[in-house]
C-alpha cells in the first residue's frame, strides 16, 4: 500500500476511515508542528496510537522502524490529519529533523540510543540553531563548543527553540572553529544537563511554544558530537526541507479558514464588493497552490524548486488570508476577540500567520534562493 505503486485515492480513503474511527485522547487538539507543555500528554497518547497502527515515522527507513513511504503517501497522511483536525505526530523537530540527521550522520551507538524513543514518542527534541545574531545568516552562530580532555564545553545562547521546555535533548549547532561554515559542528545536548537554562517566550497569540536557551559551561561527553568536527553546516542543511511537507496541511487549514471567513463576513453583513473581490483573489491563489502542490508531491522530489515556490507563496497567501480578519470582523473584535468564538479563531489564525513567512527560511531568503539558484540571477552583494 505504501510502495511506489501507491493508489492515492485508495490510500486516502483508508486513512480517512482510520482517523474517523480513532479514539481521541482527552485534551487532544490540532496544535500544529510543536506541542505546548499542556499538549504533550494527549499528543503522546495520540502518537502511540498512530504508532501501533503503523502511521508513525512514515518517511524513516524500514530498518529504523519507519515505512520508507513515498512523499505522496506522507503528504496524503498529513493532509488527512489536517482534515480530521489532529496532529500527525507528537512533535515535528525530533521525528522530521533529528531522525533523518541521526539516520544519515549518527554513529551506530547514537542511532541505537536515540532513534527508538523518538519513534515511540517518549522523547521530544528541540532544534538549537537560531541565536539572537544568527537566523537567516545561520553561519554567524557564535555559541562555542570547546574541546576538553574528555569531551566538550559549551557556552552561548539560542533563541526561538520550539518545544525546548518539554525537550529531553537538543540538536545543537555550535562553533568549533573560526572558519564560517567549516567552523561549525553538530551536537546532542541533554536538556537536563547542568548549565542548560530554558526560558519560555510568550507569543503574540498568548501561547508559549518558543524558548530562549542559555548554555553556560555545559559539559558534553565526547560522543555528543554528530558526524565529524566541522560537518555541522552540511548536517544543518539536511534539516531544512523536511518542513516543506507541512505546506499541504497548511493548505487544508487555509481552505477551512476561508470558508469560516466567508460565513463570518455574511453573518455580520460585511461582504461588500471590495471584500468579496479580496476573498475571491485569495481563493484563486489557494487553488493554484493546491494544483502546484499536487504535481510536486506526485513527482516526489522534496528538493525540487517547486517546493521553494510553494513555501514562499503558501506562507504569503496564508498571511494575507489571516489579515482579512480585520475586514471580516472589524478592528474592534481583533483587539478583543475573547467574546466571539468564530472571531477568536480567525484572529488567532491571523496572529499565527505572521510566523509562516519566517520559519524554515524567511520570504526574503526564499526569494534570494529562487533568484540565485533556480533563475541563476547574479548573487546578492555580501
Ligand atoms: C514558528 C517558528 C518556529 C521556529 N522554530 C525554531 C527552532 O525550533 N529552532 C531554531 O533554531 N529556530 C527556530 N525558528 C527561528 C527561525 O529559523 C528564524 O526566525 C529565521 O531563520 C529568521 O531568522 P531571524 O528571526 O534571526 O531573522 P533575521 O535573519 O534577523 O531576519 C530579519 C529580517 O531581515 C531579512 N533578511 C535577513 N537576511 C536577508 C538577506 N540576505 N536578504 C534580504 N532580507 C534579509 C529577513 O527576511 C527578515 O525579514 C523558528 C521561527 C519560527 C517563526
Domains and their CATH numbers in the chain:
8-90 (no CATH), 125-239 (2.40.110.10), 242-374 (1.20.140.10)
**Contact indicator for 50, 84 with CB cutoff of 8 Å:** no
* Residue located nearest, by CA, to atom 48 of ligand 1: 362
- Cα 104 to Cα 365: distance, rounded to the nearest angstrom: 26
Q: Which residues face 174 on adjacent strands? A: 185
Q: What is the pLDDT of residue 357?
A: 93
Rounded to the nearest angstrom, the distance between the alpha carbon of 18 and the centre of ligand 1 is 37
Per-residue confidence (pLDDT) for residue 241, from 0 to 100: 66
Phi, psi angle pair for 161, to nearest 5°: -80, 100
Q: How far is the CA of 314 from the centre of ligand 1 (A)?
A: 17
Q: State the residue for C-alpha cell 489536517.
A: 82
Q: Which three cell numbers stand for residue 132?
A: 539572537
State how far the Cα of 300 lies from the Cα of 315, in Å rounded to an integer: 21
Q: What is the best residue among 359, 361, 370 to mutate for testing ligand 1's pocket, by most ligand atoms within 8 Å of CB?
A: 359
Choose the residue to mutate in 137, 165, 200, 358 for probing ligand 1, maximizing ligand atoms within 8 Å of C-beta.
Answer: 358
As a whole-number percent, the residues of the chain with pLDDT over 70 amount to: 96
Ligand 1 pocket, residue 174 CB under 6 Å: no
Gap between the Cα atoms of 46 and 121, Å rounded: 9
What is the per-residue pLDDT for 339?
Answer: 65
196-200 and 225-226 beta bridge pairing: unpaired
Could you tell me if the CB of 125 is within 6 A of ligand 1?
no
Pocket flag, ligand 1, residue 365 (CB < 6 Å): yes
- Each residue's pLDDT tens digit, 331-357: 877 777 666 667 888 888 888 888 989
Which of 67-76, 100-109, 332-341 is predicted least confidently? 332-341
Q: Does residue 1 register a pLDDT over 60?
A: no
User: How many angstroms separate the CA atoms of 11 and 133, rounded?
Assistant: 45
> What average pLDDT score do residues 228-244 get?
87
Please indicate whether residue 239, judged by its CB atom, sits closer than 6 Å to ligand 1.
no
Pocket residue to mutate for ligand 1, from 35, 129, 136, most atoms within 8 A of Cβ: 136
Q: How many angstroms does the Cα of residue 243 sit away from the middle of ligand 1?
A: 14
Q: Are the C-beta atoms of 35 and 86 separated by less than 8 Å? A: no
Active site residue 10: no
Q: pLDDT exceeding 90 applies to what percent of the chain?
A: 75
Q: Which of 33-47, 159-173, 281-295, 303-317 is predicted least confidently?
A: 303-317
pLDDT at 239: 84
In the block, residue with C-alpha cell 485522547: 25
201 lines ligand 1 (CB under 6 A): no
Q: Is the pLDDT of residue 157 over 70?
A: yes
- Atom number in ligand 1 closest to CA 356: 53
Count of CA atoms in the C-beta half-sphere (13 A) of 168: 13
Q: To the nearest whole number, what is the mean pLDDT of the chain?
A: 92
- Spatial separation of the C-alpha atoms in residues 182 and 292, rounded to whole Å: 36
What is the β-pairing status of strands 211-221 and 225-226? unpaired
**Alpha helices by DSSP H, the chain:** 8-21, 40-52, 71-84, 92, 99-105, 108-119, 232-239, 246-267, 273-299, 305-323, 325-329, 331-335, 341-356, 363-369
Find the farthest-apart pair of alpha carbons in the chain and give their distance in angstroms, rounded: 72
Mean pLDDT of 260-285: 94
Q: Answer yes or no: is pLDDT of 242 > 70.
A: no
For residue 381, how many C-alpha atoms fall within 13 Å in the half-sphere facing its CB? 0
Q: How far is CA 320 from CA 22, 261, 282, 324, in A?
A: 34, 12, 8, 7
Compute the distance from residue 270 Cα to the ligand 1 centre, in Å: 36
Q: Which of 79, 80, 131, 243 is catalytic?
A: 243
Residues 6+ away with beta carbon under 8 Å from 28 = 42, 43, 45, 46, 86, 87
Residue 136 in contact with ligand 1 by CB distance below 6 A: yes
| 359/344 Cα distance (integer angstroms) | 23
The grid coordinates listed for 170 are 537538543
d(CA 24, CA 16): 14
Could you tell me if the CB of 49 is within 6 A of ligand 1? no
User: What sign results for the dihedral spanned by CA atoms 88, 355, 250, 360?
Assistant: negative
Average pLDDT over residues 99-115: 97
Nearest to 323 by CA among 248, 258, 252, 249: 258
Amino acid at each position: 500500500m505504501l510502495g511506489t505503486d501507491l493508489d492515492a485515492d485508495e490510500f486516502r480513503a483508508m486513512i480517512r476511515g482510520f482517523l474517523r474511527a480513532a479514539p481521541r485522547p482527552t485534551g487532544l487538539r490540532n496544535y500544529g508542528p510543536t506541542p505546548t507543555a499542556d499538549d504533550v500528554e494527549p499528543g503522546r497518547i495520540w502518537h502511540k496510537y498512530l504508532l501501533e497502527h503503523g502511521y508513525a515515522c512514515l518517511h524513516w527507513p524500514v530498518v529504523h522502524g519507519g515505512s520508507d513511504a513515498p512523499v505522496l503517501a506522507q503528504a496524503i497522511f498529513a493532509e488527512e490529519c489536517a482534515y480530521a483536525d489532529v496532529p500527525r505526530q507528537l512533535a515535528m523537530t525530533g521525528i522530521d529533523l533529528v531522525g533523518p540527521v541521526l539516520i544519515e550522520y549518527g554513529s551506530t551507538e547514537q542511532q541505537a540510543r536515540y532513534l527508538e524513543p523518538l519513534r515511540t514518542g517518549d522523547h521530544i527534541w528541540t532544534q538549537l540553531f537560531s541565536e539572537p545574531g544568527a537566523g537567516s545568516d545561520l553561519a554567524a552562530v557564535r555559541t562555542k563548543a570547546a574541546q576538553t580532555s574528555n569531551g566538550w564545553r559549551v557556552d552561548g545562547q539560542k533563541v526561538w527553540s520550539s518545544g525546548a521546555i518539554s525537550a529531553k535533548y537538543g540538536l545543537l549547532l555550535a562553533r568549533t572553529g573560526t572558519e564560517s561554515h567549516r567552523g561549525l559542528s553538530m551536537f546532542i545536548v541533554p536538556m537536563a544537563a547542568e548549565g542548560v537554562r530554558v526560558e519560555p517566550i510568550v507569543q503574540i497569540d498568548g501561547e508559549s511554544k518558543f524558548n530562549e536557551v542559555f548554555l553556560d559551561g555545559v559539559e558534553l561527553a565526547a560522543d555528543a558530537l554528530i558526524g565529524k568536527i566541522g560537518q555541522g553546516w552540511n548536517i544543518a542543511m539536511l534539516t531544512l526541507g523536511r518542513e516543506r511537507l507541512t505546506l499541504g496541511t497548511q493548505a487544508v487549514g487555509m481552505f477551512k479558514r476561508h470558508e469560516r471567513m466567508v460565513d463570518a463576513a455574511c453573518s455580520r453583513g460585511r461582504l461588500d464588493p471590495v471584500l468579496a473581490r479580496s476573498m475571491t483573489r485569495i481563493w484563486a491563489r489557494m487553488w493554484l497552490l493546491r494544483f502546484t502542490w499536487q504535481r510536486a508531491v506526485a513527482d516526489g522530489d522534496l528538493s525540487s524548486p517547486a517546493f521553494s515556490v510553494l513555501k514562499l507563496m503558501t506562507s504569503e497567501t496564508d498571511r494575507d488570508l489571516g489579515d482579512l480578519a480585520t475586514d471580516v470582523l472589524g478592528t474592534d473584535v481583533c483587539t478583543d476577540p475573547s467574546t466571539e468564538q468564530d472571531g477568536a479563531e480567525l484572529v488567532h489564525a491571523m496572529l499565527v500567520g505572521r510566523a509562516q513567512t519566517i520559519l524554515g527560511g524567511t520570504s526574503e531568503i526564499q526569494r534570494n534562493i529562487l533568484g540565485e539558484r533556480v533563475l541563476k540571477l547574479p548573487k546578492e552583494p555580501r
